[in-house]
Homo-oligomer: A and B are copies of this chain.
């Protein structure tokens, strides 16, 4: 594999928006028993449903450990699903996989951000994380893509969204967290994003969703639906711990211009729940010191914003919640050219994320 020494921007590469055409979507098979209950079996069922839903629109490649390979291959029985062996520490390929960049001339490369399990030994979710940190380079090797490695710069793909026209949205809670890149200030972090993703404007929301164990990843809270329009998780209930977070985000979004000088249209997506893990669900998770605790009294950071845009489709989570229909209807309205497919997301949420977190699109070059 070739490692690039300049920056994507210097080489004419940029990160396309998620709605740009994909070659495929990547996933990782869940199995970690101190994160996924009952040996990961309910999560594997949920991930399988997501993989098959995506595979009806575009090819999917699922990375699986040697030990789970045969089982995963048997369960992922869809002609558009490829299964490759890649060992990982957990199953969040949005955060461990490469961020692909294209040059509009058939070129496809990948950014291999340093990964520290969402905070390393200062609030991170598990240790070690070395295999997760290798996922991006292993994916790029399989695809024969050249790689940009940001050795001194920690970033997870779920902490950013781009509109493909020069604007990036993120949260201060995550990117300015002392457990990511404490040696860099806001301007220096912006400079890295500018150089690697070829964006010109970074929109900083103060925080992400309440109790999001990633330190407020934007992909669970706010996303672009097209240039100039964002979808923000929302509550009007002042008792909801998300209320001040939503208000603060809205204030930013209503008072900012994007890279093209546009004011943003903000669509509001209701937050489901409140959702909690049951005692039985928590009891099915291995107890391992240093790994994320599961507790029935912790409000889950469920969000319909955590969906994936694929070729011709929207793959979004549902929670067996009264808001499911509202969310589906809003997504249909926002994406009239896409087919909206709602897939059960509770088991993924129990592990700490949702559909966007467990997928990584590979844009068509």
- Residues of A whose CB lies within 8 Å of any CB of B are 1-2, 66, 69-70, 73, 79, 82-87, 131, 134, 137-138, 141-142, 144
Contacts and interface: CB of A to CB of B under 8 A. Distances in A.
B85 A138 contact: yes
A362 to B, nearest CB: 13
A134 B84 contact: no
B142 A66 contact: no
B2 A79 contact: yes
A86 B85 CA distance: 6
A106 B105 CA distance: 25
Contacts of A1: 73, 82-83
A141 B87 contact: no
Given A66-B87, A87-B66, A82 B134 contact: no
A288 to B, nearest CB: 20
Nearest to A88: B66
A76 to B, nearest CB: 10
Contacts of A137: 73
22 contacts: A1-B73, A1-B83, A2-B79, A66-B66, A66-B87, A66-B131, A69-B134, A69-B138, A70-B134, A73-B137, A82-B141, A82-B142, A82-B144, A83-B141, A84-B138, A84-B141, A84-B142, A85-B85, A85-B86, A85-B87, A85-B138, A142-B142
A83 B73 CA distance: 22
A73 to B, nearest CB: 8
Contacts of A131: 66
A69 to B, nearest CB: 7
A66 B84 CA distance: 13
A142 B82 CA distance: 8
Nearest to A66: B87
A144 B70 CA distance: 17
Contacts of A82: 1, 141-142, 144
Contacts of A144: 82
A241 B206 CA distance: 80
Nearest to A70: B134
A150 to B, nearest CB: 18
Given A2-B79, A84-B141, A85-B86, 16 more contacts: A1-B73, A66-B66, A66-B131, A69-B134, A69-B138, A70-B134, A73-B137, A82-B141, A82-B142, A82-B144, A83-B141, A84-B84, A84-B138, A85-B85, A85-B138, A142-B142
A66 B65 CA distance: 9
A4 to B, nearest CB: 12
A119 to B, nearest CB: 23
Name which of A69, A73, A79 has the most chain B CB atoms within 10 A of its CB: A69
Nearest to A61: B141
A262 to B, nearest CB: 41
A307 to B, nearest CB: 27
6 residue pairs, one from A and one from B, having the closest CB atoms:
A66-B87, A82-B141, A85-B86, A85-B85, A85-B138, A84-B142
Nearest to A1: B82
A206 B82 CA distance: 42
